[in-house]
Amino acid sequence: MRIVRKPSTRVEMRRRRHLRVRKKVNGSAERPRLVIFRSLKHIYAQLVDDDQHKTLMGVTETTEGVKREKPGKVGAAHAVGKHIAHLAKERGIKKVVFDRAGYMYHGRVKAVADGAREGGLEL
């Protein structure tokens, strides 16, 4: 029997939380999963169809067409959420499942969700 060791770093603990959330959260063609990744400088958002194992679209703040209304990283995250909602609505996607990827739901993660809601997506 394999020994399950305690995660020692913050990255390993976030990875475990993400896997725990992923057991319950699943995206489909009609309701894809909006998953985010947060690095120290940037924020990334993707729409994923887990049934076909495909990424439908991805956005970061350096993507063309992303317009920041507020300065800083939280403003950039809000703009990313609005832009991915705009692209999803063009493709006919109205509802998504939000996957916070093991991050706490505040700051930039919350800003992406709020931007997506403001852009017209139903989380």
CATH code at position 78? 3.30.420.100
- Let me know if residue 72 belongs to a domain: yes
* CA angle at 28 for the pair 26 and 34, rounded to the nearest 5°: 65
Residue 79: per-residue pLDDT: 95
Number of alpha helices (DSSP H) and beta strands (DSSP E) in the chain: 3, 4
23 three-class SS? coil
In a domain, 19, yes or no: no
Q: pLDDT higher for 104 or 6?
A: 104
Q: What is the total count of domains within the chain?
A: 1
Residue 106 maps to a domain: yes
85-121: pLDDT as tens digits: 999 999 999 999 999 999 999 999 999 999 999 999 9
**Is 58 a member of any domain?**
yes
Q: For residue 17, what are its two tokens?
A: 């939380």
Residue 62 lies in a domain: yes
Does residue 11 lie within any of the structural domains? no
Q: What is the pLDDT of residues 45-74, one digit of tens each?
A: 999 998 899 999 999 999 998 988 889 999
- pTM for this structure? 0.87
